[in-house]
Structure 1
Amino acid sequence: MKSIKYKLLLIFTAIILILNIGIGTFTTTAITNQLVRDGHDHLMDMAKQEARYVQARIDGQLAYISSLAQNPILLDENLTFDEKVAFFEEEAKRSGYLAFAFADKEGNATVFNSKHETTNVASREYFQTALSGQASVSDLIISSATGELVTIFSAPVYDQGQLVGIIYGRRDGNTLSEIVSSVSYKQTGYAYMINNQGVTVGHKNTDLVFAQDNDIENMKTDESLRELGELTQKMTSREIGSGEYTYHGVTKIAGYAPIQDTPWIIIFGVEKNDILSSINLLVKTLAFISIAAILIGALITYFVSSSISMPIKTVTIAAQEIAQGKFDVMLSIKSKDEVGQLADAFNLTIKQLVNYQGYIDEICDALQDMSHGDLRIELHKEYAGQFKKLKDNMQALLENLNSTLLQINQSAEQVNSGAEQVANSAQALSQGATEQASSIEELSASLAELTEQIRKSAENAKSAHEKSGFAEKELHGSIDQMKDMITAMNQITLKSSEISKIIKIIDDIAFQTNILALNAAVEAARAGSAGKGFAVVADEVRNLAGKSAEAAKNTTVLIGETIKAVENGSRISSNTAASLEKNVEVTMEAVALIDEIAQTSQEQAMAIVQINQGIDQISSVVQTNAATAEESAAASEELSGQSNVLKELISKFSLTETNYLLYSKNDNVDSDDSFLLNNNMVSVTDGKY
């Protein structure tokens, strides 16, 4: 186990370490944040200062180009062009311009050089601005004359108060790069310039200028440049500010400011670590102070913890000796603090333990007697404190044990008597259950025979139901055929009526033919010998008409008899159909009765099955009761044996003679049980019962 001295040393050292780390971290973080804020402010100030410087230089160039626009040589018609070229070339060389040119109001420009170059600058912004009467500087552009990057300074030219054109001068595009390259900040800081579109117009790396590098466009294809692109986009709003970005894995801080009267913004950027370089010395100093504080704190803690742990160690050794049973220990600690008070309390505890040892010895002797079965025990010493409660509880335990054992003896006798009664009852129950099982088996056999008879009745009813159904179908078929026959007879009657009408028509035709034949015979007689042949024909026609009339009459008689026969057959068929329908109704009623009989038979069969199941369950219960009765008898015999064993065990204890009175006073026993015990208590003599 670790010593308290080393625990205190470890704890306080850890506290000092944590405090130093916390203070160092807080201080470093606060200073770091302040340095970063100061860096932002300083870079913005530098950007504003450099913007004013560039603006001053631009203003100087604008003033120069404006004064040059007022030079009379420019419009002097007495001078040749070559003389003007010589003047302006010398002026350009002196002032650092590449060339000067004059453009009329239509933008037609003539460059003052030996080549006599001409061009049109009407579309240029600097031309439009100067033409409006204001001197201006252009953005970094590609010269239409040379194809190089240049910056144009322009100013309006007046002749007797009238605007006649502009003069402009071209300066090298590296001019802005030269301006920003001349300034620096710390180890890694530098300046660069962009225009309002984010295009680089001045940089120490002139390749970026000629490439028209634009970080706003670059971030669209390179995600690593997004921070720089967004910051550049913010710069184009032409407000003074600062920001941070990561470029090629290096975090940088930038301050920016717009250059008034120009389309440019100047930016000062520096690596963040460069700004924070001064904090390294502070970190080293704080680390040294922290280590020194930890060492000093650990040393102080060591001595303080030693002064605390030594007395505690002495007390610990004394406690170990007491734990081994040595009570002749006495501590001599002179300290007046809590440790000294602990030593005094420990000495007092030792004195009290000596007294407690006497209590423990007496209790051990009493427990030993109890383990041998002797419950006639008394504790004679005067106990104090918790030991007095222990004495009282032990005496109460002895009294309760005496009372409980006497009660157990009485209960054992009652259990023995009850077990014999249970055994006799169980035997009788077992015999009755056996007889019930025999009767149930006979009843089950009778029900099985009845079940078979009901099953056969149900099958016969089912067969009768099927045959009745077949007969019903046949009767329905006969009724349908009878209906068809009645329909056919009705058709015959109808057709016979139509035939009678036709025969009547034939009879009328025969009658008319006979009249015509008579008329023909009369006409033939009038004709004499010329009409004999016609008379013969007329006579034959009359004969045929008579035969036709006779045949029609006979046919009418036959048809009338046929109609009567058909009507008689139709009436008989109707009666037969009605009789068949009654037979169908009777058959359907018989089928319904047979269905009811079959259903009743099935229900009876199911009821018999349920009765069989109930009888099986009763038989199972009866058998279970018989088995349970036998088990109860066996258990009763076992219980009787156990009660005898219990009485033998109780006889091994030596009990006091007055315990039977204690039981009657026990609050946990009701009055009836107390009365029963007092009237059935065995006599006690010589400590035995």
Structure 2
Amino acid sequence: MKSIKQTAAVAIASLMLVVTLVLSLVTFSKAQTALTGTLHELLISKAEDTADLVATQLDSWRRIADGIARNFDGEASRTSQQTYLQRETRENDLLYIGMLRNDGALILPNGQTIDASKHPYYDGLIAGQTIITTPFKLATDDNMVVTVAVPITASNYIGLVGFLPGQALCAAIADVGFGKTGYAYILDGEATTIAHPNYDLVLQRDNDLENVKTDVSLQELVTIQKEMIQAKTGAGRYDYNGKNRMLGYAPIAGTNWSLAFAAETSEVLNRVASMRQFVMVFLFVVLAVAIISATLLGGALAKPIIQVTKVAQSLAAYDLTVSIPSNLLKRKDEVGQLAQAVGTTVAMLQQSLGSISNSSQRLAAASAQLSANAQTVAASVQESIASTEEIAAGMQSISAATKEVNASSQEMAASVNQFAERADDGLSRTQEIKGRASNLSSDAITSQQAAKQMYAEIREQMSQAIADMHVVNNINELAQTISSIAAQTNLLSLNAA
């Protein structure tokens, strides 16, 4: 059986654990949500800053190309022009600079001519626009290049084209990172990769809008890239190569390109992981404190109840000498009320037991008196039985005497008849004898009736005497009466004889 201390400790510890766990989970969830939102904003901000950096680099290339174009002397000799272009190529880290004619022929510094009518910058220059192309391969040497083309007013030429290495855009974002896994990449208006830390993707002109047709795992990424090519700013999460990543994106000003800044979620949310570890440690600490506190509190709660329980157990064992500790009676809580109730019960039981003891003593005295009275009554009953037997014997004597009187009366009647028959002996004697016979007959009848009446009275008096338990005196009186009646009966019998 579990004790109150154990039950209270388990209950309190469980409650604190649940409350702490719920609060920790809610706090962690809120913190993760807040941190995720903050990281989204951070990634967006990082993407916008990097996009501005790239836009600045593109603008720098435009200014360089425009400056070279303004300083180009179309009237100078071919040798002078080539010398100028070669010097500017070296100073501005260009591969080379070409001059584009109206017919689409691109004249290089080494005198080589290239048909540029199919190059992406040709139509722009025809329209008088400054163009920076995405990386593409030259037909002459199969190298990947980025071109910066600006219009020019020199005779026989419509524009100046500066060639940058294909990695030029990659270099512009190479120094931008976030931790160990964060990097930036650039997509053009068709979602083709034009700058990436993995230059092979640029060489392959990687396009996830096409790749998703054969790899559905790219669907989340493609959804984000569709937002990117619409020149939107935002953030998202996706799985790529088995890893979850977070991404912020922003358009690059002056182009239809979009820059994305991505990093693995595990690294971006490393603070959340640290927070998770902190929450776990905090949870274990709280649990330990809860168990200790619950044990102490359970003991404090259980101690007075155990004391009251011991008192109740003593009462159950018929021990009314117990008393409630004063510290329990002084408490103002429910335990104090319980102790006071038990104390009142003990006092009432002790008082009731005293009353029962006094009543028992009085009852014992009354029982002794009753026993003595019973013995006295028993003796009286014995005496009454003896007297009754004497009365019965007397009644039998009376009955016998009565029978004798009746016999005598019958004999006297016979004698009277005989006397009547002898009436003829003499009138005077006959009248005398007749008178005496009549008197004797009347006396005999009267005596018989008196004897019967006395017998009935004696019988009634006996019943009354026995019923009232005052039989001794009545029986003595009846015995005397019976003796008197017997004497009278005997006398009457003698007279009758």
TM-score w.r.t. length of structure 1: 0.48
Q: Which consecutive residues of structure 1, in runs of 5 or more, have no partner in the other structure? A: 360-689
CA RMSD of aligned residues (A): 2.6
> Which amino acid in the other structure matches residue 145 of structure 1?
T
How many angstroms does 1:288 deviate by?
Answer: 4.1
Distance 1:341 1:55, change over 3 A: closer
Partner residue of 1:167? Answer: 160
Distance 1:36 1:144, change over 3 A: same
2:132 counterpart of 1:140? no
Task: Select the residue among 111, 129, 152 that pairs with 1:157.
Answer: 152
Partner SS state of residue 96, structure 1: coil
How many angstroms does 1:339 deviate by?
Answer: 2.4
Partner residue of 1:527? Answer: none
Partner residue of 1:131? Answer: 126
- The structure with the greater share of residues assigned to helix is 1
Structure 2 contact 97–163 (Cα < 8 Å) conserved: yes
> Which amino acid in the other structure matches residue 200 of structure 2?
D
1:86-485 alignment runs, 5 A limit: 86-113=83-110, 116-159=111-154, 164-324=157-317, 326-334=318-326, 335=328, 336-337=330-331, 338-350=334-346
Matches of 2:215 and 2:274 in 1, distance apart? 37
Matches of 1:248 and 1:214 in 2, distance apart? 16
CA deviations over 1:188-214 (Å, ceiling 9, x no partner): 111111111111111111111101111
How many angstroms does 1:232 deviate by?
Answer: 1.3
Matches of 1:8 and 1:40 in 2, distance apart? 47
Matches of 2:287 and 2:2 in 1, distance apart? 21
Distance 1:357 1:223, change over 3 A: farther
Matches of 1:48 and 1:344 in 2, distance apart? 77
Matches of 1:207 and 1:172 in 2, distance apart? 14
1:37-76 alignment runs, 5 A limit: 37-73=37-73, 75-76=74-75
Q: Which consecutive residues of structure 2, in runs of 5 or more, have no partner in the other structure? A: 357-497
Distance 1:339 1:70, change over 3 A: closer
Structure 1 contact 255–269 (Cα < 8 Å) conserved: yes
Partner residue of 1:15? Answer: 15
> Which amino acid in the other structure matches residue 141 of structure 2?
T
Matches of 2:108 and 2:161 in 1, distance apart? 9
Partner SS state of residue 233, structure 1: helix
CA deviations over 1:96-148 (Å, ceiling 9, x no partner): 222221222221222221xx322322343412112222211112222233322
How many angstroms does 1:269 deviate by?
Answer: 0.6
Distance 1:181 1:153, change over 3 A: same
CA deviations over 1:54-88 (Å, ceiling 9, x no partner): 11111121122122222343x22x513x4433332
Partner SS state of residue 158, structure 2: strand
How many angstroms does 1:293 deviate by?
Answer: 3.6
How many angstroms does 1:353 deviate by?
Answer: 6.1
Matches of 2:166 and 2:354 in 1, distance apart? 110
CA deviations over 1:331-370 (Å, ceiling 9, x no partner): 32212233233233224435666869999xxxxxxxxxxx
> Which amino acid in the other structure matches residue 239 of structure 1?
K
Matches of 2:263 and 2:354 in 1, distance apart? 85
Structure 1 contact 174–206 (Cα < 8 Å) conserved: yes
Structure 2 contact 54–173 (Cα < 8 Å) conserved: no
> Which amino acid in the other structure matches residue 189 of structure 1?
G
> Which amino acid in the other structure matches residue 134 of structure 1?
Q
Matches of 2:99 and 2:82 in 1, distance apart? 11
Distance 1:156 1:344, change over 3 A: closer
Partner SS state of residue 29, structure 1: helix
> Which amino acid in the other structure matches residue 79 of structure 1?
S
Alignment size in residue pairs: 351
Structure 2 contact 314–322 (Cα < 8 Å) conserved: no
TM-score w.r.t. length of structure 2: 0.65
Partner SS state of residue 245, structure 1: strand
Structure 2 contact 55–253 (Cα < 8 Å) conserved: yes
How many angstroms does 1:166 deviate by?
Answer: 1.4
Identical amino acids, percent of aligned pairs: 25
